[in-house]
Amino acid sequence: MLVLEACVFITILFGFFGIIFKKNLMMKIISMDVMSTGVIAYYVLVASRNGWFTPIVDSSKTVAYADPVPQAVILTAIVIGFSILALMLVAAMKLAKDNPTLESSAIEKNNTP
């Protein structure tokens, strides 16, 4: 379990540092998606600590069941993350029409008064 947490944490850090250090807007969007995926994976990992089995009540089994509420929250987070990603890609397409590059420094230079 500790190895999985470390891998998920490294995924979150890769996405975070990609957002900070990459200058291309498409790379920033991809880094944000990677970080979002890592956060969702960490949430699922923490939620599954109580049990690994589906929450279908059976009188013959006495095992620890996984809580279904975090699964519903994660499905909602995935849908919201997908819509935000689509919105950011549309914004990048609009910026690409006006600017020959998607480098953030060049866009800031072109749009300063």
48 vs 2, more confident: 2
Distance CA(37)–CA(39), nearest Å, equals 5
Any domain includes 14:
yes
Query: In angstroms, what CA-CA distances link 4 with 11, 46, 111?
Result: 11, 11, 44
Q: For the segment 67-83, what is each residue's pLDDT rounded down to a tens digit? A: 778 778 889 999 999 99
Phi (first) and psi of residue 53, to 5 degrees: -100, 150
Q: For residue 89, what pLDDT is reported?
A: 94
Confidence of residue 112 (pLDDT cuts 50, 70, 90): confident
Distance CA(44)–CA(71), nearest Å, equals 7
Task: Give the global pTM.
Answer: 0.79
Give the range of the structural domain holding residue 49, as residue numbers without chain letter. Answer: 2-100
CATH code (residue 6)? 1.10.287.3510
Total domains in the chain come to: 1
Any domain includes 87:
yes
31: its two tokens: 């880094």
With CA atoms as reference, report the closest residue to 81 among 43, 33, 47: 33
Type of residue numbered 101: T
53: its two tokens: 């089995």
Q: For residue 51, what pLDDT is reported?
A: 67
Q: For residue 70, what pLDDT is reported?
A: 79
Q: Once rounded to an integer, what is the mean pLDDT over residues 46-67?
A: 71
Any domain includes 8:
yes
Q: Is 101 helix (H, G, I), strand (E, B) or coil?
A: coil
Strand intervals (E) in 7-106: none
